[in-house]
Structure 1
């Protein structure tokens, strides 16, 4: 098969190139699976005879694999063609999905989820790198709005989609339903996706690969343990410290390799001020989104007595609003820059989290829905321009490294957000229970404090938004 760069089909001004459309669709399908199993935990416990802590690993292992594999994608995407990267990612994802669907035991299911995640890890960096290469700067905001649908709305809708599917059959149906959709997307994509950019043959430093896997994987693993009741915190702290040490070694190694031109993850991306600021803002945004995704189902199901399906339907409008407003936010950014979007978006995020810190047993469901929708709309107004600003600040040869760093940070922020809210909630609830407070009021107080802590962290994006430029160019390089 020739690896020559193909002449891209003509695209009218203001239209999204077909290669980007296909990659957005494929990325949505694979990232949806990151949170698809959240509602299936009780079914897994009953079907495969595993504990709740063990069953949680179907989500934890997916996130951990993503964090470990994504750092390698910067090197991988520079080495292969767009079509080869697409075929590899979707082929691996399909293999993992099929294995999960027929898994005879929990161990095989876990292996299938790890294989799924390995394919998923390639898709977001591939999408971001291709978009930045083929889309003119004046159209990037609009197109990046579609990317928001794939990488932000997909995990937000995962629990809702799984809640609906689980009404019709066992947990295996989650994979059986995804398999033909992913297969059709793969086949259609292989017919239409064309190669973008020239592959670059380069060596890979396997020591860096090992340090990245141990560092980022260890960090995510350690953070995920904070939610376990017995012995999790001590082991979690140890894993986090070990992961942080491995990341420090990884950073030193990359700085040394940058002098020879072949780092696994080029840290010179962080030297671009706008990219660095965007990275910080995105991290808090993902932390807030995943933290609320953990707390709200616990509140609605454990305290208010809603079913998983009812919970998913209540939270669905916020996820849909986020997806529908992403392209609109992109068009506003293309015309007016970041200022009319990012500052109001970060303020809205802070206000929504502050409002959720007042949850009670009597709070009307429409108010919960409204606050969640405000949070999702605010994140849509923030993510689209910040993605565009950050990636646009990088020179073309750093696009793949910038997108892989963003993807890695997304997984770490998600794990940190989950660990933070669960730890704060559990600590507060345990403290009140020791004072003789009943279980439900104690847990409710813990949830309120967790939302309040995340709302306080949301002050950071507001401060960052005030110093972000309206637009960025690669001239920063």
Structure 2
């Protein structure tokens, strides 16, 4: 397939897809710095307001499994125009929302498009670029996936300094309309279609199961019995979903690709890295606004250098992987995250913002060193036909885990009477995942060594 796509067409396709993905993922975290503002204006609790970010992330994880089936059933052009059209509808709803439930609904509609778009973009780029360019193109894709959510709160903080929260939707709307028009005019069809049937029961099991499991996290602080019911019930439904996938001819998620140890282990590492990224990104603005008393704009500026560092390192890490593999960037990245944890668990209202800014930037540099190589390595052994299922699985698990991380951090930060102590607790727990990354990666290297000796 790659040989039939000209270089110029590849550039056009990549530019359209990456632009759309960037703005959809930036929208995912724009609400982070706006949560205290919306909480006050709409008279809701922080636990309720955080569903504007957690719900967005969760829906991305839930709808992502559909992406591989949609990519196979319809032409790439039809899928893209449908995705962007849905995102435009959600964004338009957000522009005029006057009640919290309508605002949340707008966010969920946006997320339903964003989840499919992210996997669609990765699958399309893998499909049209040759394998020797995969590390570089995955590095660029990882740059978008990790940088857009990182820069979202900063952009939102700037907007909220001079405009109302509605402009978080108003500014995005014309950009996505332009993307849709360019896609309609320029995007070619380059993927064949297949006569497959989407299993609605599997979609329902994934939707209800994941929603119950995530809701249980916030319910533990108010009703432990109900929380356990939701957690166990959600786990059972997700187990049924997983078992069903092995019995279907055209599963929603092709779980059989977990047989590749490169995919299973490196996807797990991607999941842990993404949990660290979103968890920390959620905590820093909440801490700086709630403890140090900064504005949304200043809170956004605190995490801006981290976003820029993350963008730079993502491209560098992808090229490093192309030349030497994942060993050194992944281990260095996990080490940087652990080192950068120490200042965060000691910060208080007197901690200089410049120290938090630098520490957060170091933390994101470490995260980016892990993310790009791990994602590239995860697809090393997959066939071209398995790429769409691989990206769907990777994105689904990563986004659901990210939603869990965000919810868990907010819950942990609110458990003690002091937000400072709660933030320390949340940072400590979320940072311990870096140790898990090191353990998993060393295990992966051991498996690789055994395979080579055989």
Q: TM-score of the superposition, structure 2-length normalised?
A: 0.91
Aligned to 1:366, which of 349, 354, 358?
354
Specify the alignment match of 1:73 in structure 2. 67
Aligned to 1:323, which of 304, 308, 311?
311
Contact persistence 2:33–2:153 (CA under 8 A): yes
Q: Does 1:91 align with 2:82?
A: no
Aligned to 2:6, which of 10, 14, 33?
10
Distance 1:73 1:305, change over 3 A: same
Q: Per-residue deviation at 1:180?
A: 0.6
Over 6 Å off, 4+ runs: none
Specify the alignment match of 1:452 in structure 2. 428
Specify the alignment match of 2:19 in structure 1. 25
- How do residues 25-424 of structure 1 correspond to structure 2 at under 5 angstroms? 25-45=19-39, 47-48=41-42, 50-225=44-219, 231=222, 234-257=225-248, 261-424=249-412
Q: TM-score of the superposition, structure 1-length normalised?
A: 0.87
Distance 1:469 1:196, change over 3 A: farther
Distance 1:115 1:456, change over 3 A: closer
For structure 2, list consecutive stretches of 5 or more residues without a partner in the other structure. Answer: none
Q: Per-residue deviation at 1:123?
A: 0.6
Contact persistence 1:34–1:158 (CA under 8 A): yes
Please give the alpha-carbon distance, in whole angstroms, between the structure 2 residues aligned to 1:410 and 1:233: 26
Secondary structure of the corresponding residue to residue 34 of structure 1: helix
Contact persistence 1:28–1:149 (CA under 8 A): no
Q: Per-residue deviation at 1:236?
A: 3.7
Q: Per-residue deviation at 1:211?
A: 0.7
What is the root-mean-square deviation of aligned Cα atoms in Å?
A: 2.6
Distance 1:110 1:298, change over 3 A: closer
Please give the alpha-carbon distance, in whole angstroms, between the structure 1 residues aligned to 2:400 and 2:232: 14
Please give the alpha-carbon distance, in whole angstroms, between the structure 2 residues aligned to 1:334 and 1:320: 22
Contact persistence 2:5–2:128 (CA under 8 A): no
Q: Per-residue deviation at 1:177?
A: 0.5
Q: Per-residue deviation at 1:450?
A: 2.5
Contact persistence 1:224–1:415 (CA under 8 A): no
Q: Per-residue deviation at 1:424?
A: 3.7
Question: What are the Cα deviations for residues 56-75 of structure 1, in whole angstroms up to 9, with x where unaligned?
Answer: 33323322322221122221
Contact persistence 1:353–1:454 (CA under 8 A): no
Q: Per-residue deviation at 1:48?
A: 4.5
Specify the alignment match of 1:435 in structure 2. none
Q: Structure 1 residues 340-349 or 242-251, which shifts more? A: 340-349
Secondary structure of the corresponding residue to residue 400 of structure 2: helix
Q: Per-residue deviation at 1:288?
A: 0.9
Distance 1:110 1:426, change over 3 A: closer
Question: What are the Cα deviations for residues 169-196 of structure 1, in whole angstroms up to 9, with x where unaligned?
Answer: 2121111111011111222233332223
Distance 1:369 1:50, change over 3 A: closer
Contact persistence 2:77–2:189 (CA under 8 A): yes
Contact persistence 1:6–1:196 (CA under 8 A): no
Distance 1:469 1:80, change over 3 A: farther
Distance 1:355 1:47, change over 3 A: closer
For structure 1, list consecutive stretches of 5 or more residues without a partner in the other structure. Answer: 431-438
Distance 1:195 1:453, change over 3 A: same
Distance 1:85 1:224, change over 3 A: farther
Secondary structure of the corresponding residue to residue 30 of structure 2: coil
Count of residues in Structure 1 that have an aligned counterpart in Structure 2: 450
Distance 1:167 1:184, change over 3 A: same
Secondary structure of the corresponding residue to residue 162 of structure 2: coil
Q: Structure 1 residues 89-98 or 365-374, which shifts more? A: 365-374
Please give the alpha-carbon distance, in whole angstroms, between the structure 2 residues aligned to 1:60 and 1:453: 18
Q: Structure 1 residues 231-240 or 271-280, which shifts more? A: 231-240
